[in-house]
Structure 1
Amino acid sequence: MKIRSILAGLALTLMSGAAFAQTTAATGADAAMAGPGITMGKTASGPLKYVNIQDDDLVTSKLVGIGIYNKQNETIGKISDVVIGGGKSVIGVVASVGGFLGIGETYVVLDPSSIALAPDNGTWKAYVDTSKQDLSMAPKLDYSKLRK
């Protein structure tokens, strides 16, 4: 009887340890809130973790190059890049404004909270509440320094 109690206790201990050792992958918005972000340096800050993305999550490769539209559905720029601040979260969206075929373009950085994203016939569009003129007068970014 005493051996059975010891074996049962040992089995419970081993099973609870296995339960604690199991981890699940974070998903979508939960993944963004899961940790401190990307570590800037040569050493990771913790063990490797995996994330499961959802169908409604958006990868940056689908954002770069999409048009930016105003309330009148006029094209006023396009997304050129995404800025991650301190390795933690998206702090800006680089928009190219003006120019023709890449000549004469200027770049501005938009706050992500001022952009709405929506699918449109199999592609994505970004919407902002401004005019092309106001966007072209925004503070400029010397984007060539960042792409080196």
Structure 2
Amino acid sequence: MKKHLLATTAALALIAKPAAFAQDASGATESSPVFSRDSGQYLSPVDGFYNADPSQVLATRFIGANIHTSTAESAETIGDVNDIIMTPDGRAVAVIVGVGGFLGIGEKEVAMSIDELQWQSGADGEMVLVGGLSKQDLEGAPAFDRSALERDEMASAETRMEGDAAMDKDDTMTSATPKMETVPASEAQLEASEIIGMSVTGAGDETVGEVSEILIDNGGRIEALIIDVGGFLGINEKPTAVSLNDLQFARAEGSDGWSTIRTGLTRESLESQPAYSEETYKSDRDAVILIAPVE
């Protein structure tokens, strides 16, 4: 699952109650809140840039972290952090916690107040993320609906695109469409870092996705590219394996680097293909790799 920071102006159903954090056998636990509300501790940038400082907190420390009921070895894991919810002014107010399910399948997401979390020192000295709620509290809480945020983001993006299109109308009408040159993907000499992240256009020159991974067979040869299709801003994308033989690298005539990947496949055919995973690839390779039918 891809992880993101979510900024929202929508009303949030945050899960919170008076925290009751566990203590060790001595009756004392070294703990600290996830975020300090003391504005006096904030650092100031120098010439627009920040230096690393022990008081800073990285989002990657939270995203993917397990939340426990205490620091004890027998403590229950109540969920894992999938996202952080932020206000438009950049304040973290909640975490989206994945509860239940198995390996992300059947998992329910709930928005848990950031004030319910603390870092506590475990027996080995490592800091453990401890929540003031039980697994039952989270399982009984209302599910967090990401689609409300996605609708707001999509509407804003469409508004911006319409404005840009109106401003650029004259330029696009007078500028000539550059000629493109292509090469079969199996013949191109590119590094993996150049391919990953490259946009993919399908039938009718429609942008259908972007490359997220390269699938290599047991012989060390590139067999397919994993193209993320569907979703919005990286949310709810589906990875689809497309045979290298059905892809071409393209660039504007005369330019140095290959800029896009082309395929004759449509968005609909990509979205209807079973999602790629290591398990499905190992169990049924032919079913998971999409190969365009011979015309």
TM over 0.5: yes
Cα distance between partner residues in 1 of 2:103 and 2:41: 36
User: Greater relative contact order (Cα 8 A, min sep 6): structure 1 or 2?
Assistant: 1
Cα distance between partner residues in 1 of 2:57 and 2:88: 21
Cα distance between partner residues in 1 of 2:56 and 2:100: 29
Cα distance between partner residues in 2 of 1:51 and 1:122: 29
User: Conserved in 1, the CA contact under 8 Å of 2:101 and 2:107?
Assistant: yes
Q: Which amino acid aligns with 2:64?
A: G
Q: Could you report, residue by residue, the CA deviation over 1:125-145 in whole angstroms, capped at 9, with x for unpaired residues? A: 321122111111112112366
Aligned to 2:171: none
Q: Aligned pair in 2 of structure 1 residues 122, 100: CA closer, same or farther (>3 Å)?
A: farther
Q: Aligned pair in 2 of structure 1 residues 123, 65: CA closer, same or farther (>3 Å)?
A: farther
Q: Could you report, residue by residue, the CA deviation over 1:79-104 in whole angstroms, capped at 9, with x for unpaired residues? A: 11111111321111111000001111
Aligned to 2:141: 138
Gaps of 5+ in 2: 1-39, 151-234, 237-295
SS at structure 2 position matched to 1:76: strand
Q: Aligned pair in 2 of structure 1 residues 74, 126: CA closer, same or farther (>3 Å)?
A: same
Q: Could you report, residue by residue, the CA deviation over 1:6-30 in whole angstroms, capped at 9, with x for unpaired residues? A: xxxxxxxxxxxxxxxxxxxxxx931
In structure 1, which of residues 122, 127, 144 is the aligned counterpart of residue 130 of structure 2? 127
1:33-48 map, 5 Å: none
Gaps of 5+ in 1: 1-27, 36-47
Cα distance between partner residues in 1 of 2:41 and 2:53: 9
Aligned to 2:48: 49
Q: Aligned pair in 2 of structure 1 residues 53, 95: CA closer, same or farther (>3 Å)?
A: same
Aligned to 1:30: 42
Q: Which amino acid aligns with 1:74?
A: E
Give how far 1:56 is off.
4.5
Between 102-111 and 55-64, the greater mean CA deviation after superposition:
55-64
Q: Which amino acid aligns with 1:140?
A: A
Cα distance between partner residues in 1 of 2:104 and 2:50: 36
User: Conserved in 1, the CA contact under 8 Å of 2:94 and 2:111?
Assistant: yes
SS at structure 2 position matched to 1:51: coil
Q: Which amino acid aligns with 2:90?
A: K
User: Conserved in 1, the CA contact under 8 Å of 2:86 and 2:94?
Assistant: yes
Query: When the two structures are aligned, how many residues end up with a matched partner?
Result: 108
Q: Which amino acid aligns with 1:86?
A: P
Give percent identity, aligned residues only: 28
Structure with the higher fraction of residues in helix conformation:
1
Between 92-101 and 118-127, the greater mean CA deviation after superposition:
118-127
Please, what TM-score do these two structures have when normalized by structure 1? 0.60
SS at structure 2 position matched to 1:113: helix
CA RMSD of the aligned region, Å? 2.9
Cα distance between partner residues in 1 of 2:129 and 2:90: 23
Aligned to 2:226: none
User: Conserved in 2, the CA contact under 8 Å of 1:64 and 1:79?
Assistant: yes
User: Conserved in 1, the CA contact under 8 Å of 2:116 and 2:133?
Assistant: no
Give how far 1:123 is off.
6.3
Q: Aligned pair in 2 of structure 1 residues 78, 110: CA closer, same or farther (>3 Å)?
A: same
Cα distance between partner residues in 2 of 1:67 and 1:98: 12
Q: Which amino acid aligns with 1:128?
A: G
Q: Could you report, residue by residue, the CA deviation over 1:43-69 in whole angstroms, capped at 9, with x for unpaired residues? A: xxxxx6222232353201121111011
Q: Which amino acid aligns with 1:29?
A: Q
Q: Which runs of 4+ in 1 moved over 6 A?
A: none
